[in-house]
Amino acid sequence: MKKATRQPDPRRAQTQDALIRAAEVALRDVSLDELTVSEIARRAGVAVTSIYNHFGSKAGLQAAIAERALHVDREYMDRAYVAQRSPVDQLKAAASEYLQFYLDHPDYFRLLAFPPEPARNPAGRDLNEQIAKRVDEQNARMVQALQAGIDAGLIRKADARELATLLWAAWNGVISLGWRADSLRKSKTQLRKMVALATEIIAAGLLKEQT
């Protein structure tokens, strides 16, 4: 007799989504280490036990948030790294899509680009390491694009992984100007111009001189 397939519980999915969203909003005000299960439950309008029932622990909920952020980021990068583009054009598109990811999902961006340091929380530190590993895996496509450009003679010879880290760090630095609380804060329009300019300058430096 064929075993019946267990159908997903829509109420369970709704509760999980409510908890994740409540935690995401709370992280705008407090650090990952300071965020408590009682505060998340209060914001979601559910009992504290719901967090443990659905995610096992606060770290489990944080991991679910990070996984959602990584999934959304991957969708933006999918639009950049398409086969029809040259390696250089892929990198330019990636810069534009990365900025759009920040503009559309600033909380996700901050979690992935500048994860808070949970100094007193071993589980949180482990989560940060997991985020770093997954971000590095996603940046592998940038490494591949750079290596393809080097192999094709379009980009000067260098360590593709180091170049990818440089590009990623440069984009993070420029985009972070968007949430400064002083006169150095940049608008969406200014950020677009700055990211485009930074990418053009870096790309010009990467391009191999044609003889």
Q: What is the pLDDT of residue 203?
A: 75
Beta partners for 155?
207
Confidence label for 4 from pLDDT (cuts 50, 70 and 90): low
Average predicted confidence (pLDDT) for the chain: 83
Domain ranges within the chain, ordered by starting residue: 9-56, 58-206
- Class of CATH domain 9-56: mainly alpha
Read off the amino acid at residue 114. Answer: F
- Quickly count: other Cβ atoms within 10 Å of residue 137's Cβ: 11
Q: What is the pLDDT of residue 23?
A: 82
Distances from the Cα of 73 to the Cαs of 93, 103, 118, 156, 187, in angstroms? 14, 12, 23, 28, 21
For domain 58-206, the question of CATH label 1.10.357.10 is answered with: yes
- Residue length of the chain: 211
Burial class from Cβ neighbours inside 10 Å (0-12, 13-18, 19+) for residue 199 reads buried
CB 87 within 8 A of CB 145: yes
**How many Å apart are CA 157 and CA 147, to the nearest integer?**
9
Give residue 79's pLDDT band: very low, low, confident or very high (50, 70, 90). very high
Does the pLDDT of residue 83 top 70, yes or no?
yes
At 114-123, the pLDDT tens digits run 876 654 556 6
Q: Name residue, tokens 């409540």.
A: 22
- Can you state the percent helix, strand and coil of the chain, rounding each to 5? 70, 0, 30
pLDDT tens digit string along 50-73?
A: 888 888 887 788 888 888 889 999
Cα within 13 Å of Cα(165), Cβ side = 7
CA distance 11 to 13: 5
CA-wise closest residue to 65 among 31, 111, 28? 111
